[in-house]
Amino acid sequence: MSPAVTDDSRGPGEETPIAKRILIGEPLTSEELEGQLLPKKMALPIFASDALSSVAYAPQELLMILLIGGTAFLALSPWVAAAVVALLIVVVLSYRQLIKAYPSGGGDYEVARTNLGEKAGVVVAAALLVDYILTVAVSVASGVDNIISALPNLDPWRVELAVGFVVLIILVNLRGVREASTAFAIPTYLFIGSVMLMIGTGLVRWMLGDAPIAESAQFAVQAEDLSQAALILLILRAFSSGCSALTGVEAVSNGVPAFRQPKIRNAQTTLVLMGSIAITMFAGLTVLALVAGVHYSEDPCRLVGFNCEALVQPSLMAQVAAATFGNGSILFFVVQAATAAVLLLAANTAFNGFPLLGSVLARDGYAPKALNTRGDRLVYSNGMIILGLAAVLVLVIFQAKLTTLIQLYIIGVFVSFSLGQLGMVKHWRRELRLLSPKAAKARREAISGLFINALGATFTIVVLVIVTITKFTHGAYLVFIAIPLLSFLMIGVHRYYRDVSHEIAMDDDVHYGSTGDVALVLVGTLQKPTAKAIDYALSGRHDKTLAVHVAVTAEEARDVQEDWKLHNMPVPLVVIESPYRHYAPPIAQFITKYREKHGSAVVTVYMPQYIVGHWWETFLHNRRARRIAQQLMLVHGVQITLVPWLLDSSELIYGRRSRPLLGDDRRDGRLPSYGLVAHTEDES
Amino acid sequence: MSPAVTDDSRGPGEETPIAKRILIGEPLTSEELEGQLLPKKMALPIFASDALSSVAYAPQELLMILLIGGTAFLALSPWVAAAVVALLIVVVLSYRQLIKAYPSGGGDYEVARTNLGEKAGVVVAAALLVDYILTVAVSVASGVDNIISALPNLDPWRVELAVGFVVLIILVNLRGVREASTAFAIPTYLFIGSVMLMIGTGLVRWMLGDAPIAESAQFAVQAEDLSQAALILLILRAFSSGCSALTGVEAVSNGVPAFRQPKIRNAQTTLVLMGSIAITMFAGLTVLALVAGVHYSEDPCRLVGFNCEALVQPSLMAQVAAATFGNGSILFFVVQAATAAVLLLAANTAFNGFPLLGSVLARDGYAPKALNTRGDRLVYSNGMIILGLAAVLVLVIFQAKLTTLIQLYIIGVFVSFSLGQLGMVKHWRRELRLLSPKAAKARREAISGLFINALGATFTIVVLVIVTITKFTHGAYLVFIAIPLLSFLMIGVHRYYRDVSHEIAMDDDVHYGSTGDVALVLVGTLQKPTAKAIDYALSGRHDKTLAVHVAVTAEEARDVQEDWKLHNMPVPLVVIESPYRHYAPPIAQFITKYREKHGSAVVTVYMPQYIVGHWWETFLHNRRARRIAQQLMLVHGVQITLVPWLLDSSELIYGRRSRPLLGDDRRDGRLPSYGLVAHTEDES
């Protein structure tokens, strides 16, 4: 029953404290926690990077889908884009309400859970978890895509690059929130700045009649000829693809606790600020791309005249930048770098949101408690590690293909959007019921809230339906497997914790006064560790202390007995034959018989336990002892006492032989003092 | 420090005892061990299948290499084959000597170690381990090759088939030696019979002027035109490839202990018998292949007229069988089936040899002790599992390509051959020195032995040099990395065990009489498991018993204190603040301070320990307790007492709540009785 995962960052750390300290940094006290909170100007880049970065792929996906119908369809794009913008506004307003009503950072999960019940909450949670994973995957994939657009000869290493970046982000995040944000603020602002500049320049040049022209403008497109129905479907698909611009809006609502006081106001401001920037950039980019006549095709080989074998199709962002600033110009590279950077930060958003949600779930008993264990750096290390690994997995499975990943992404996002909004509707209606007719102001607020969220709910549900219909065959079905699966898991975990805690709760039939007290010291061969165990057993002054040796071969037994006499050991030795070369069963039987004869004594089994210095030493020590302990613990009235023996090798790791402390090394020696706050008696 | 490998077959078994019992069978007592020993007629198939099966690929490889120079070179093949046969005879005779001199099953390893010193022994051991792995890989690959020759449409699943067979063999072997041999005797004899019949029929038809003609005879061969030097090299390569016929001869010498009495004579007879059969078959097959004009090319596309894209080149065995008995005839399939079967048995040889050697190494302290732990079925389960996995790895890496694998194989084989022979030479010379001039008979024996082994040594060394020169670039260099690596590892392991045992050996400065005795019961939240721990701690009647709670938050602390009063617990509660949310360090500091104040008492730390029913539950329980225990064990004078608490779920697995016994389930309830053989006092 040995654990397969480490349940916080300390686990692995135990083996390589130094390496870990370098990578992760020094631990922090609780007092430093407030210092970790985010001022707005820091919060924006952290929580907004997701929503903003989606601007880097949303227009591209929108135009790409329309282009399937041929260049003529690009004429529709302004209208589709407008619809997306409208939706974006509604969603931002809705979340403004949500933040105010539920500032604890539970976000959609908490809203759905409180208003629509456990099931809905769990589904939202599952959806959000999936989203976070896909946020990382999508953002990194898109980021790498933009890097490759600038440096095409990196193309062969697409997946490797993506995975590399994820690992990098994990490490950065394990160092803690604040460093992350400072490190990440610059590129976000650089991204906003450079893209805005690009849009400005482009549009100005256009008005001056010198419109930027993208390379791909020259390429004709082999259109599929579509039926009437297919046309509508195509437009809907384009719309839903465009909706990827909305992804990440919820991030703020999940991160409220990380804001400085006044949390709610700051979060709301950040949200609105973010929304407006996102809208401007999304609209601007789409227009500019149309002006520049960018032809971005799902399948590059449909571009007539484009050598799809030899060349990589540059991202829409790259094409626009090249058209506006000139290919290979410094500003071109600045835009690409900023875009790539901000996309990687977007991935980082998930590393703020996922662990937070994970711990909320753990607190509510829907996820393993381990997710609620804060690591050294006051961040939920486990959540981060799990998230990172999951993202890597997804990236590898889907070969970092952006379009496919986005299909999966949008579904989850809109599932949580919709349920969150529905929850808010319910919330406001309850509010209205509770409010006295007199409280006019409050009622007005509630009504406007109800209106906004109802609107949001309708829109998001409509989109969800569209997305589902249009994307289902494009890989979205996977999400429809993942979300229910996760939901059931979480409900199962919840049941489990409930049952266990009920099982072990104190009640009146807890009775004390176990009596009698026998010590058995297990002896393999007579060596110092055994001697120490016997010494400790004797210091316990048990009613009876026996040494027990399980003899697989007669020689073995003889040797032990001789040594026993030779060193005239202070306790009697019992030898038990074991024809089956089993160890625990015969001892267990001995104990059972003993208890039959002498009444139900508590039997303390002493075992020497090696403490080794290097992980690999564990392979060289027979773990028979561990197995025996596990089996004996199933015997009535038995308790196991492990008497540690530090091998010299442990000296190498823990500094001194004099039984030092892992904790010390981890904070290289500066041992904090732990005050005794309460004390029910003077124990001097 | 949680275990990363299971150190015997019991490990995994603990989780799925039933499944395991079905797969592996019931355990056996030591008495049954003699019953497990092998009569000659059983030993032959087991230990000879390796040597015999090599006949299935040796001629093919020999002719294949010569064919690179063009069909003309096939004329040389009889001479090359003759050289191989000569070598085979010498080697068999040498091993006859070796068996007599060193019947303990250590084989070349023991010989080299005793006569040439530790280093040589370790190198041989490394070489042998590598060989065993490659025996499995090569045999299975060749077996699959022959299956595919008969059923070409299995070609796409070559690797999958190979891996599947390895897994099958592992399971069969975990069931124990005897079943294995009975299951395996038939095909070996069938192989010998059918191939002999084929050779007979073929040659008779030839004499009667109706020589069998292989399909490939019609294909011309694009020869590389070679320089003079290249020609010689080619011939040497052909010879060394042919030497793959010798592989497996050593198997018997490593398996002597598995023979019935008189072990030596039986082993020797088996060896000679095996040798003669191998020679007959090797020679016969080569001749018949020449008669039938088989053209087997390293690269099928060099065969003019052969559609190398669409078709699979059938193995030499298949071509000869088809030519002799007619393609698709029953006898054709019999031969192919028998060949495939015997090759799989050859793989099985390694499963007898490897674990045996592994345990010899473990006994001598060169390999982890775990390899010396017999599994339930009196077989060295660990060795088998390691061997199996390694073979699978090799098969996957080299995509089950026979020729490549054989390159690696031969080197290792001849390394151990050569060192073994050298060792024997040294052995005989010492014998001669020791023998009195009177003991004429003994001297004659020694001299003949010396002569034979000297001859063997010279030959094998020559071959080793040739093989190395000719195969080095063909992947053999990998072996030259693997063998030294393994050797260093083994020497390292040996050093480690030596140091540790020296470190923990009993000596006079072992002093007893640790005094004082304090019990600390760690309390997270007050629940039944804690109550039980306190109860047991009280039954120990320690000088002082305290409950200790590490408070990360003030609320937590308050709750515990309230519960404490509420249930008026019988021991005082100490609360320790931990600003860093660490658990072990504050407790450790408390202990240290306490010891400073009250003198060096033995401190017993009581911890409740959950026993769960399902492996997955371990993910759901915070392993904080385990971590705390590990860290506290580094504190001076501390011992850890684990008080087990069986969760209901464990009932599902272990049958009853009343603390049952793993052992029982594993032998579904028929509990054996373990006699108390020795007893230094009456403990009633």
Using the predicted structure, report yes or no on whether residue B91 has a pLDDT greater than 60: yes
Measured over the CA atoms of residue A58, residue A60, residue A63 and residue A67, the dihedral's sign is: negative
For residue A651, list chain B residues with Cβ-Cβ distance below 8 A. none
Give the mutation candidate from B576, B580, B598 for the A interface (greatest A CB count, under 10 A): B580
What are the helix (H) ranges across B398-511? 402-434, 440-471, 477-504
B14 within some domain: no
User: Across residues B94-113, what is the average pLDDT?
Assistant: 84
A162 within some domain: yes
The pLDDT of residue A675? 46
Compute the nearest-CA separation of A621 from chain B (Å): 7
Strand-strand pairing, B573-577 and B544-551? parallel
Q: What is the layout of strands, in order, in the sheet containing B544-551?
A: A676-679, B573-577, B544-551, B517-522, B602-611, B638-646, A638-646, A602-611, A517-522, A544-551, A573-577, B676-679
Written as six digits, the tokens of A611 are: 């403490």
The pLDDT of residue A509? 63
My answer on whether A461 and A533 are in the same domain is: no
Inter-chain touch A660–B580, beta carbons under 8 Å: no
In 3D, which of B29, B91, B50 has the Cα closest to residue B354?
B50
Q: Chain B window 101-120: which residues touch A at a Cβ cutoff of 8 Å?
A: none
My answer on whether B486 and B530 are in the same domain is: no
CATH number of the domain within which A539 lies: 3.40.50.620
Cα angle, residue A20 at apex, residues A19 and A22 outer, rounded to 5°: 70
My answer on whether B212 and B305 are in the same domain is: yes
My answer on whether A476 and A530 are in the same domain is: no
Task: Give the tens place of pLDDT for each residue, B206-224.
Answer: 999 888 888 888 888 887 7
Q: Chain A window 601-620: which residues touch B at a Cβ cutoff of 8 Å?
A: 602, 604, 609, 611-612, 615, 617-620
- The answer to whether the beta carbons of residues B596 and B632 sit under 8 Å apart is no
For residue B500, list chain A residues with Cβ-Cβ distance below 8 A. 647
For A673, which residue in chain B has the nearest alpha carbon? Answer: B586
My answer on whether A536 and A652 are in the same domain is: yes
Domain end residue (candidates: A497, A529, A550) = A497
For A34, residues 6+ apart whose C-beta sits below 8 A from its C-beta are none
Q: What single letter denotes the amino acid at residue B258? A: A
For residue A579, list chain B residues with Cβ-Cβ distance below 8 A. 29-31, 672, 674
A644 within some domain: yes
Task: Give the tens place of pLDDT for each residue, B358-377.
Answer: 888 888 889 888 777 655 44
Looking at the partner chain, which of B503, B551, B676 has a beta carbon nearest the beta carbon of A677? B551
Inter-chain touch B577–A677, beta carbons under 8 Å: yes
> Is B280 part of the contact surface with chain A (CB cutoff 8 Å)?
no
Strand-strand pairing, A602-611 and A517-522? parallel
Inter-chain touch B576–A542, beta carbons under 8 Å: no
> Is B682 part of the contact surface with chain A (CB cutoff 8 Å)?
no
Compute the nearest-CA separation of A497 from chain B (Å): 8
Q: Chain A window 543-602: which residues touch B at a Cβ cutoff of 8 Å?
A: 544, 546, 551, 557, 561, 563-564, 567, 570, 572-582, 584-586, 588-590, 594, 597, 602
My answer on whether B454 and B558 are in the same domain is: no
Compute the nearest-CA separation of A21 from chain B (Å): 16
Q: Chain B window 9-28: which residues touch A at a Cβ cutoff of 8 Å?
A: 10-11, 14-15, 27
For B548, which residue in chain A has the nearest alpha carbon? Answer: A679
- Lowest-pLDDT range, A441-455, B257-271, B368-382, B453-467? B368-382
Compute the nearest-CA separation of A68 from chain B (Å): 37
Inter-chain touch A642–B637, beta carbons under 8 Å: no
Compute the nearest-CA separation of A496 from chain B (Å): 9
Compute the nearest-CA separation of B16 from chain A (Å): 12
The pLDDT of residue B612? 79
For residue B493, list chain A residues with Cβ-Cβ distance below 8 A. 620
My answer on whether A368 and A420 are in the same domain is: yes
For B501, which residue in chain A has the nearest alpha carbon? Answer: A527
CATH number of the domain within which A194 lies: 1.20.1740.10
Inter-chain touch B648–A538, beta carbons under 8 Å: no
My answer on whether A460 and A534 are in the same domain is: no
My answer on whether A274 and A388 are in the same domain is: yes
How many separate domains does chain B show?
2
Task: Give the tens place of pLDDT for each residue, B465-491.
Answer: 888 887 777 777 788 888 999 999 999
Written as six digits, the tokens of A319 are: 């094409």
Looking at the partner chain, which of A27, A575, A674 has a beta carbon nearest the beta carbon of B586? A674
- Assembly ipTM: 0.70
The pLDDT of residue A2? 35
Compute the nearest-CA separation of B599 from chain A (Å): 12
Give the mutation candidate from A581, A598, A640 for the B interface (greatest B CB count, under 10 A): A581
What gap in Å lies between CA A374 and CA A383, rounded to an integer?
Answer: 10
Using the predicted structure, report yes or no on whether residue B632 has a pLDDT greater than 60: yes
A-B interface: how many C-beta pairs under 8 angstroms?
Answer: 358
The pLDDT of residue B622? 66
My answer on whether B86 and B230 are in the same domain is: yes
My answer on whether B454 and B521 are in the same domain is: no
- The range of the structural domain enclosing residue A322 comes to 48-497
> Is A538 part of the contact surface with chain B (CB cutoff 8 Å)?
yes
A119 within some domain: yes
Give B411's pLDDT tier (boundaries 50, 70, 90).
Answer: confident
Domain end residue (candidates: B467, B497, B527) = B497
Inter-chain touch A546–B676, beta carbons under 8 Å: no
My answer on whether B157 and B65 are in the same domain is: yes
Q: Chain A window 631-650: which residues touch B at a Cβ cutoff of 8 Å?
A: 631, 633-648, 650
A675 within some domain: no
Domain end residue (candidates: A465, A497, A529) = A497
B21 within some domain: no
User: CA dist A660 to A442, A650, A652, B113, B589, Å?
Assistant: 61, 10, 12, 42, 11
Q: What single letter denotes the amino acid at residue A365? A: G
Looking at the partner chain, which of B573, B634, B661 has a beta carbon nearest the beta carbon of A660? B634
Q: Quote the distance between the C-alpha of residue A36 and its chain's center.
A: 19
**pTM confidence score:** 0.69
Along chain A (684 residues), what's the average pLDDT of each consecutive run of 10 residues? 33 41 50 61 77 89 88 87 92 88 82 88 90 92 91 87 90 66 76 93 90 86 78 86 86 79 86 92 93 87 81 90 89 91 85 81 84 58 85 88 84 87 90 84 87 88 84 76 91 89 76 76 88 87 90 86 88 86 86 84 88 76 78 87 81 43 34 42 37
In 3D, which of A466, A607, A641, A436 has the Cα closest to residue A524?
A607
Measured over the CA atoms of residue A446, residue A449, residue A450 and residue A451, the dihedral's sign is: positive
Q: Chain A window 33-62: which residues touch B at a Cβ cutoff of 8 Å?
A: none
A671 within some domain: no
What gap in Å lies between CA B483 and CA B684, rounded to an integer?
Answer: 57
B457 within some domain: yes
Compute the nearest-CA separation of B192 from chain A (Å): 39
Inter-chain touch B581–A622, beta carbons under 8 Å: no
